[in-house]
Structure 1
């Protein structure tokens, strides 16, 4: 369950916001509160939070100082700032520090709920981005950036592999296509790409498999065939060895991370 934290030193405002959001959330989100920036920072050391609503004017540590401290710890949650008209400069500064939006006092219930709803949507968007980052092999990304510097032979080899990913393509077959000695091609490939041919082939097959697992409902055995594995048993073994989980577990984890898929 995702968590929202309300930080305000005024009990009436804090409890009023909490009561409104608890009724709106109807158990979908956990709504917590803190009576000061100091209390909030201490609580946040041991509790993950997805959205924060904070007043800008508070004793000891104000909302801006709290944001600065949180930013130094790591990525900020989605932050909504509460401010009065006379405190607009504070609200503007909070936006510069990375706050998502601000709500003016006195707090209008409908505006509050709309802003919180958009904040949770923003947080869900971050979840989807995190899932997409996990989908892409960082070594393949690095190779993609360096590809312009590869020789024409290596570029042709990579294109040839992509076109025949569903086949049981091997180094000897690619070397013959390029009219190169397999041993020479093996050294050349490692020298330019930084990975062995077999490592690259595994990475590119698993990359395609992960895309199919997330974007389609194809059965595992069919995905194994589409990425060049002759048996589903071997495909599952290779996948687990490299990803630390089975293809089925990877698919389920990806679905769980994307709240737009029910």
Structure 2
């Protein structure tokens, strides 16, 4: 498994190596600390290696830190890292541009060990949260999202039924079972659910189970048979058939395609 990367960009050798030593002790092997002495070298690294966090000086020859961030945002690189800017000068204009470029933090040189580490930890956390949001958007079923957005307007029995599905996602779930749970006649519950959610209850269950399956396909290396079992399907054949019906490809193809697009997701 490839190491997680932090990139330090600074044309001053002492500053660059000082930060590297501090972060190597802090990282304790969990991150590899890369360095670049200028923006050109930094861009080459970013184009070749997925970096989680970049710490860059603002004032550098050829390409400034701000120009480097702008170039990085425009280029198609494997991963756009979170960014911390460092500067020897407290200039308001720099801080304004940093905010515009969505920089996580802005540190003045020389930053203390404590401030540097705190800033790095905050930036990595922010990056993970953003990555999770992007990940969930890529997996999201638009029809399930539409129902979630209107959840407050749904009746109590329908909300209870949706909660029941969440709690029993690893089991086979029948309409009659859920109707009994919400104390309604099966036919009435079926009509009520379709009226409020614009889809049959069985379709809702299938979509929610497939959403869970997609999460397992991308976040784990579990065999497809195990994923089918964990989403309440007794046979892989039926699971594959249903997945292809809704997504136009097999679970294996979905995993390969998505992991090819987002190689950093494990």
TM-score strictly above 0.5: yes
User: Cα 1:161–1:39, aligned 2, differ >3 Å: closer, same or farther?
Assistant: same
The 3-state SS of whatever aligns with 2:118 is helix
Q: In 2, distance between residues paired with 1:49 and 1:110?
A: 22
Give the match for residue 46 of structure 2: 44
Shift, 1:113, TM fit? 1.4
Q: 1:42-121 maps to which residues of 2 (within 5 A)?
A: 42-73=44-75, 76-121=80-125
Larger radius of gyration: 1
* Unmatched 5+ stretches in structure 2: 166-171, 220-224, 244-249, 253-264
TM-aligned CA deviation for residue 204 of structure 1: 3.5
CA contact 2:175–2:186 (8 Å) conserved in 1: no
Deviation, structure 1 residue 52: 0.6
Gaps of 5+ in 1: 215-219, 246-256
Deviation per residue, 1:209-241 (Å, 9 max, x gap): 8899x9xxxxx99x979x8x5xx5238852795
Pairs within 5 Å for 1:1-262: 1-73=3-75, 76-130=80-134, 132-133=136-137, 136-144=140-148, 162=162, 167-169=173-175, 177-178=187-188, 193=198, 199-207=203-211, 232-234=233-235, 237-238=238-239, 242=243, 244=251
Matches of 2:149 and 2:127 in 1, distance apart?
29
Check the 8 A contact 2:151/2:159 in 1, yes or no.
no
Q: How many pairs are equivalent?
A: 223
Is contact 2:56-2:86 (8 Å) kept?
A: yes
Partners of 2:87 and 2:109 within 8 A in 1: yes
Report the Cα distance in structure 2 between the residues aligned to 1:19 and 1:177, rounded to whole angstroms: 68
Q: State the TM-score, normalized to the length of structure 2.
A: 0.63
SS of the counterpart of 1:54? Answer: strand
- Relative distance call for 1:162 and 1:24 in structure 2 (3 A) is closer
Question: TM-score, normalised to structure 1's length?
Answer: 0.64
Instruction: Kindly state the Cα deviation for residue 111 of structure 1 after the two structures are TM-superposed.
Output: 1.1
